[in-house]
Amino acid sequence: MSDTDKLASRLQALQGIELPKLDMSELASRVSYFNSSMNEAQEDLMRINQEKYEREVENNENLKSLVDYNLEISNYNRKLVSLNEKILNKINSLDDTLLFLNDAFINKAEMDEEQIKANNALLLELITIIDSNDAGKLKQFTSGLAAPVISGLVVEYFKMKLGLS
CA dihedral 41, 46, 50, 52 (to 10 degrees): 50
Residue 129 forms part of a structural domain? yes
Least Cα distance to 138 among 150, 120, 152, 148 occurs for 150
CA dihedral 150, 156, 158, 162 (to 10 degrees): 180
Residue 16 forms part of a structural domain? no
Residue 52 forms part of a structural domain? yes
Residue 25 forms part of a structural domain? no
- What is the residue range of 88's domain? 35-162
Contact 157, 130 (CB under 8 A): yes
Per-residue pLDDT of the chain (165 residues; tens, 9 = 90+): 677 777 777 666 666 666 566 677 776 777 787 778 788 878 888 999 999 999 999 999 999 999 999 999 999 999 999 999 999 988 888 878 878 877 777 777 676 677 777 778 888 888 888 888 888 888 888 888 888 888 888 888 888 887 776
- Residue 125: the pLDDT is 87
Least Cα distance to 160 among 126, 113, 114 occurs for 126
Distance CA 132, CA 93 (A): 57
Structural domains counted in the chain: 1
Helix (H, G, I), strand (E, B) or coil at 164: coil
Distance CA 96, CA 84 (A): 18
Phi then psi for 133, rounded to 5 degrees? 55, 40
- Residue 5: the pLDDT is 76
